[in-house]
A and B are shown apart, each in its own frame.
Chain A
């Protein structure tokens, strides 16, 4: 007990932990909710409850994606999984009348074997991960890179913070905003300068999907069509 406390204190006071304390607290909460719901999902007897627990797990993983700076994947996760797949599962449950009460009286032998396989798998994966990646940090680049092209602008059209930061009070007419002017500004002000373009991950993702990964992208659309037709053919009545 005391050893665990001293370990916890040691971890809590390490600089790499306190540097990103809010993120780590968020991660702990999300991970706790996620694992609890996942565990309840595979153990609960009620099928509808299992679907709802799955929904919590999927929402938590969307939160993890956003925590990692991939807001587009997080939004896609919410739209596709929570919006569509959970509804599909609920339809599946309702249409099959899968003993809505307590189903799945699994034999304890089977359960024991499943738990054994799961724990062994985790030990192997966990050992490999801890051995390989020990304490490597995820370093976040500037979350929103700001692109800038030098422009001229009318002083009257500039937002007040920009005028103050560039020392343009009292001037009228056209002024030239150069690269050096732009670089001297704070990021908060930078994004309000005319000619500045804020883009996050999304632009890069779009570029990647529609250039390097255009073939997999088109293949995905064919796959979805095939799955749609396949599902209709399999499930329709003769």
Chain B
């Protein structure tokens, strides 16, 4: 198998994730798209690990998974807080910091 087929797959996944982050308004869906991006990075890490024939890639992928789990926990808590205060999870309505 070629290295590039994995890297290009991850690149497509990354770009779909970026599209999701940019176009979605619902906070939960934005967080899901971020997961897509992190997953694309994981595929890259594991593919490079297999390519270089060492386990560093795998180890980093595991750390990324752990950090992603923490990120989802805090992110969903914030979306929940936003929903409680504003009865909406629309990220485009968050403009209180606008001058």
Taking Cβ atoms with an 8 Å cutoff, the residues of A that contact B are 16, 20, 23-24, 27, 31, 34-35, 38-39, 41-42, 47, 50-51, 54, 57-58, 61, 64-65, 67-70, 72-73, 76-77, 80-81, 84-85, 88-89, 91-93, 95-99, 103-104, 106, 110-111, 113-115, 117-119, 121-122, 125-126, 129-130, 133-141, 201, 204-205, 208-209, 213, 216-217, 220, 223-224, 226-228, 230-232, 234-235, 237
* A64 cross-chain contacts in B, Cβ below 8 A: 6, 9, 43, 46
Query: Within the assembled complex, what's the spacing in Å between the Cα atoms of A234 and B83?
Result: 12
Contact A98 B89 (CB under 8 A): yes
A84 — nearest CB in chain B belongs to which residue? B69
- Taking A47-B29, A89-B72 as contacts, is the C-beta distance between A209 and B59 under 8 angstroms? yes
* A96 and B79 contact, CB distance less than 8 A: yes
**Is the contact region of chain A dominated by helix, strand, or loop, or is it mixed?**
helix
A98 touches B26 (CB 8 A): yes
Q: Does B93 contact A (CB under 8 A)?
A: no
Which residues of chain B are near A235, meaning CB under 8 Å? 77, 80-81
Chain A residues within an 8 Å CB radius of B28: 47, 89, 92-93, 96, 98
Chain B residues near A76 (CB-CB < 8 A): 62, 65
Q: How far is the CB of B9 from chain A (nearest CB, A)?
A: 5
Choose among B13, B26, B65, B70 the residue that contacts A81 (Cβ–Cβ < 8 A).
B65
**Chain A residue nearest to B66 in the complex (CB):** A220
Q: How far apart are A230's CB and chain B's nearest CB, in angstroms?
A: 5
Smallest Cβ-Cβ distance to A234: which chain B residue: B77
Give B50's nearest chain A residue, CB to CB: A68
Q: A68's contact among B26, B33, B47, B62, by CB below 8 Å, is which?
A: B47
Distance (whole angstroms) from the CB of A36 to the closest CB of chain B: 10
| Contact of B65 (CB < 8 Å), options: A77, A133, A137 | A77
By a CB distance below 8 angstroms, the chain A residues around B79 are 92, 96
Question: B32 contacts A50, CB within 8 Å?
Answer: yes
Contacts of A27 in B (CB 8 A): 1, 5
Contact A34 B70 (CB under 8 A): no
Contact A106 B89 (CB under 8 A): no
Q: Mark B51-72, 1 if CB is under 8 A from A, else 0.
A: 1011111110111011111111
CA–CA, A45 to B54, complex, Å? 42
Q: How far is the CB of B29 from chain A (nearest CB, A)?
A: 6
Q: 1/0 per position for B61-99, CB-CB distance to A under 8 A?
A: 111011111111110111111011000010000000000
Q: Once the chains bind, are A138 and B8 in contact (CB under 8 Å)?
A: no
Contact of A54 among B14, B27, B36 (CB under 8 A): B36
